[in-house]
């Protein structure tokens, strides 16, 4: 008993002399975004033509304390990642997947779909990544922080398409004819038997309800839209090969979209004077309906070869009115008109022709 008491007392004295052990600190929160350390392309030059799709692997090294989060692409979320974007135009957005290392320090790869849409020097312009806290985001032009690669693309014979409707202006509830014309951008020749994907409304932005068709011998395709179908956005595209593991969005080689238009711009134009000394400025005032605030209208003059050429422009004000300036250059009578170009709202329209005489 005596020995036990002595040991207990010694232990008590010793514990009173020793400093208290510090409490373990909680790990610091991750507040830093992922970091990009390198980007490489598997090739430095590619030649493509026509409907070809040539894939070039891109490798990106990313690090993050918590780990880089993988988010696959869905049509409603353009911010999937990690991703690389290049300056090529269409098909420039590539979602990456980790193929080496860890989420904390790994190599993320993807496939750049090189097509005849691209030409010249292609380089990465954006790297996007989110960490697993979902709070820290990397969104940067990598050229500003690391050495980046480039890809030289030589391309030719890109397919081009355009869409028109007739009649226009259309009558609501009545059928219209949709016509798609295709041609070779290098030769300007019609492109027969070109595969097209055609859709409308939601099918223009998500994988739903599309039709596969081909152009005829003259490079055109046409079909009749019912009055109900015609009210929706119409779209068509020429698809290349889809990115591996990512069937949507398509690899676009050519794309077009348009609404059927049910009205035409009605333009009035009145000159402040119809006869003035040569070289005098004359205000031309008028109105455009339907209202298109900020739209540019053109003053056109008829030349001796009977062509109409633009000689001035003005913007439509909130009231629907505009003011242009005509200047008869010599001692002659000049014919003018005002033109409102067509756009998604309405078919283009012109005013009645008016004259101003220079004396």
Task: Tell me, yes or no, whether 43 and 152 share the same domain.
Answer: yes
Q: Which tokens belong to 351? A: 């005013």
CA end-to-end distance (rounded Å), the chain: 134
Task: Tell me, yes or no, whether 244 and 274 share the same domain.
Answer: no
Beta bridge partners of 271: 284
pLDDT grade, residue 2 (50/70/90)?
A: very low
Q: What percent of the chain has pLDDT over 90?
A: 82
Q: Which tokens belong to 103? A: 């989420």
CB 90 within 8 A of CB 255: yes
Q: What is the mean pLDDT of the chain?
A: 91
Q: Which tokens belong to 291? A: 């209202």
pLDDT above 80: residue 14: no
Mean pLDDT of 10-34: 58
Residue where a domain stops, chosen among 237, 258, 279: 258
pLDDT above 60: residue 342: yes
Q: How much is the pLDDT for 89?
A: 84
Q: How much is the pLDDT for 30?
A: 77
pLDDT above 90: residue 1: no
How far, in Å, are 132, 179, 270, 307, 332 from residue 327 at the CA level?
66, 41, 14, 18, 11
At 352, which CATH number?
2.60.40.10
Element (H, E) at 16: helix 2-17
pLDDT above 60: residue 77: no
pLDDT above 70: residue 251: yes
Domain housing 330: 266-358
Residue where a domain stops, chosen among 239, 258, 277: 258
Assign residue 219 a region (left: φ > 0; alpha: ψ between -120 and 50; beta: otherwise).
left
Task: Tell me, yes or no, whether 199 and 95 share the same domain.
Answer: no
Instruction: State pLDDT tens for residues 292-307.
Output: 999 999 999 999 999 9
Q: Is the pTM of this model over 0.85?
A: no
How far, in Å, are 53, 84, 213, 258 from residue 116 at the CA level?
8, 20, 21, 23
Mean pLDDT of 268-276: 97
Task: Give the lowest-confidence range in 146-150, 196-200, 208-212, 253-257.
Answer: 208-212
Q: Let me know if residue 342 belongs to a domain.
A: yes
Q: Let me know if residue 105 belongs to a domain.
A: yes
Task: Tell me, yes or no, whether 66 and 114 share the same domain.
Answer: yes
Mean pLDDT of 154-171: 97
Instruction: Work out how many domains the chain is built from and give that number.
Output: 3
Mean pLDDT of 343-359: 96
Q: How much is the pLDDT for 248?
A: 79
pLDDT grade, residue 335 (50/70/90)?
A: very high
Mean pLDDT of 166-190: 97
Report the alpha-carbon distance of residue 183 to residue 186 in Å, rounded: 9
Pick from 209, 210, 215, 230: nearest CA to 162: 215
pLDDT grade, residue 31 (50/70/90)?
A: confident
């Amino acid at each position: 008993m005596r020995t036990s008491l002595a040991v207990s007392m010694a232990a008590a004295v010793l514990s009173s002399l020793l400093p208290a052990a510090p409490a373990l600190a909680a790990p610091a929160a991750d507040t830093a975004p992922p970091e990009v350390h390198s980007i490489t392309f598997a090739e430095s030059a590619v030649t493509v033509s026509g409907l070809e799709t040539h894939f070039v692997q891109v490798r990106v090294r990313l690090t993050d304390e918590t780990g880089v989060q993988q988010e696959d692409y869905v049509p409603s979320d353009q911010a999937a990642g990690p991703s690389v974007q290049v300056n090529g135009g269409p098909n420039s957005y590539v979602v990456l997947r980790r193929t080496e290392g860890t989420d904390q320090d790994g190599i993320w790869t993807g496939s750049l779909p090189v097509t005849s849409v691209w030409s010249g020097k292609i380089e990465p312009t954006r790297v996007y990544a989110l960490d697993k806290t979902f709070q820290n985001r990397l969104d940067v032009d990598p050229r500003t922080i690391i050495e980046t690669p480039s890809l030289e693309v030589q391309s030719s014979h890109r397919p081009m398409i355009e869409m028109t409707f007739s009649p226009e202006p259309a009558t609501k509830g009545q059928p219209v004819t949709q016509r798609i014309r295709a041609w070779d951008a290098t030769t300007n020749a019609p492109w027969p038997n070109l595969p097209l994907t055609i859709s409308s409304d939601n099918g223009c932005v998500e994988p739903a309800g599309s039709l596969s068709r081909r152009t005829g011998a003259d490079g055109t395709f046409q079909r009749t839209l019912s009055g109900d179908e015609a009210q929706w956005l119409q779209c068509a595209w020429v698809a290349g090969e889809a990115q591996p593991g990512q069937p949507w969005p398509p690899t676009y080689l050519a794309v077009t979209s348009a609404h059927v238009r049910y009205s035409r711009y009605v333009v009035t134009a009145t000159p402040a004077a119809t006869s003035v000394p040569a070289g005098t400025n004359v205000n031309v005032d008028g109105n455009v309906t339907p209202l298109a605030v900020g739209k540019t209208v053109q003053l056109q003059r008829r030349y001796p070869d009977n062509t109409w050429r633009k000689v001035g422009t003005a913007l439509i004000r909130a009231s629907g009115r505009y003011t242009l300036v005509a200047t008869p250059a010599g001692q002659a009578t000049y014919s003018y008109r005002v033109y409102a170009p067509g756009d998604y709202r309405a078919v283009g329209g012109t005013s009645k022709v008016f004259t101003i005489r220079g004396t």
